Amino acid sequence: MKSDRLLMMLLTLQAKGRMPAHVLAVELEVSTRTVYRDVDALSAAGVPVYAERGARGGVVLAAGYRAALTNLGEKEIRALFISASNPLADLGLGGSLSRSLELLAGALPADKRRSAERARGRIFIDAKRWMQADQPREHLAELQRAIWSDLRVALHYRDRTGKVTRRIVEPLGLVAKAGIWYVPARSAGEMRVFRAERIIDAKATTERFEWPADFNLESFWREWSAALSDRAPRYEVELRILRDENDVREALAWWESRFDPDDHRARVAYPSREVAIGDVLGFGGAVEALAPAEFRTAVISRAKDACGVYA
């Protein structure tokens, strides 16, 4: 995309200073003629970039503008350069982000460049859960291309019950939550949210659709996920932590949990009674089920059954 290329040109000039047009063309993987056209486009947009002719000439970004691009404080640099597993890689954009950050780092003064290196080396954010399956990158890349161009998509989809359908949808965005991608889209005039890993096939059509003027992806997602949370079944139990408290707390944090540090109790909301029983039994003697009373009775009964099998 042209906008991506123009940004990459700015970052490259920011990092490396004056560059001959043919060298910049190789760096951006375009022709020298395209470089000069992009320089004209940036100049027309008010960016002080220009081409100097002669043996020592080249494409130049004005010094004042170069300074403004890297006028970042310590906290801003840390926020930019903290290492993380990159969900953009699922969309085929991970390399672009990495290259942009490398160019920006190269343009920073030496002391700020060291801050960026420390941030990368000391904090790493892994957004995926343990044993999580890879996301369908081919389908995600196709969907994001359709979203940029407002194109309808032919979707082949398997829902949570296993039912397979084919439909034409109007994709309105992509959302990554805990490493899992979702696709908010209009389908047959209604808003739906599709889980990307259940997509069997996705092909952009040549049919454009009109983007809804009042649609905001972040607002939609917050409202939809809040409504989903309210509708989700909950089975709340009270537990006493008897030992290995840190390990138990870490494991219970997978669910919606509240801890009382004074009496080593935890109140946990499970999606069902059966899930709660299995989870509590998995802790062995590290936790004790306290309430509700029927849950405590069920845990005892299930434990006796297991003992009967292995006695």
- Which CATH number covers residue 32? 1.10.10
Q: Which of 215, 244, 267 is the last residue of a domain?
A: 215
The per-residue pLDDT for range 228-283, each reduced to its tens digit, is 877 778 899 999 999 988 888 888 888 888 888 778 899 999 989 999 999 999 99
Q: Are residues 161 and 260 in the same domain?
A: no
Spatial CB neighbours of 283, under 8 Å, sequence gap ≥ 6: 248, 251
Q: Are residues 47 and 142 in the same domain?
A: no
Give the 3-state secondary structure of residue 180. Answer: strand
Q: Are residues 142 and 190 in the same domain?
A: yes
Give the per-residue SS3 of 57-87. CEEEECHHHHHHHCCCCHHHHHHHHCEECCH
| Closest by CA position to 147, among listed 95, 198, 97, 215 | 215
The burial class, CB within 10 Å (0-12 / 13-18 / 19+), for 55 is exposed
Per-residue pLDDT at 278: 94
Domain range for 182 is 137-215
**Residue 55 dihedral angles phi and psi, to the nearest 5°:** -60, -35
230 domain residue, yes or no: no
Q: Are residues 180 and 257 in the same domain?
A: no
| Closest by CA position to 35, among listed 55, 57, 56 | 57
Per-residue pLDDT at 246: 87
33 domain residue, yes or no: yes
146 domain residue, yes or no: yes
Q: Which of 70, 94, 122 is the last residue of a domain?
A: 122
| Closest by CA position to 122, among listed 87, 84, 95 | 84
Q: Are residues 110 and 67 in the same domain?
A: yes
pTM for the full model?
0.60
Q: Are residues 31 and 77 in the same domain?
A: yes
162 domain residue, yes or no: yes
22 domain residue, yes or no: yes
Per-residue pLDDT at 67: 64
132 domain residue, yes or no: no
127 domain residue, yes or no: no
Q: Are residues 276 and 305 in the same domain?
A: yes
Q: Are residues 6 and 117 in the same domain?
A: yes
Q: Are 153 and 203 in contact (CB under 8 A)?
A: yes
Q: Are residues 174 and 108 in the same domain?
A: no
Amino acid at 294: E
Cα(15)–Cα(32) distance, rounded to whole angstroms? 20
Q: Are residues 156 and 107 in the same domain?
A: no
The domain that holds 179 is classified in CATH as 2.30.30
Cα(288)–Cα(292) distance, rounded to whole angstroms? 12
Per-residue pLDDT at 91: 72
Q: Are residues 113 and 9 in the same domain?
A: yes
Residues (pLDDT < 50) of the chain are none
Give the 3-state secondary structure of residue 10. Answer: helix
Q: Are 139 and 146 in contact (CB under 8 A)?
A: no
Cα(136)–Cα(198) distance, rounded to whole angstroms? 9
Q: Are residues 145 and 73 in the same domain?
A: no
Spatial CB neighbours of 104, under 8 Å, sequence gap ≥ 6: 11, 14, 15, 70, 80
Q: Which of 215, 248, 267 is the last residue of a domain?
A: 215
Q: Which tokens go with 286?
A: 């590290």
Per-residue pLDDT at 230: 74
222 domain residue, yes or no: no
Domain count, the chain: 3
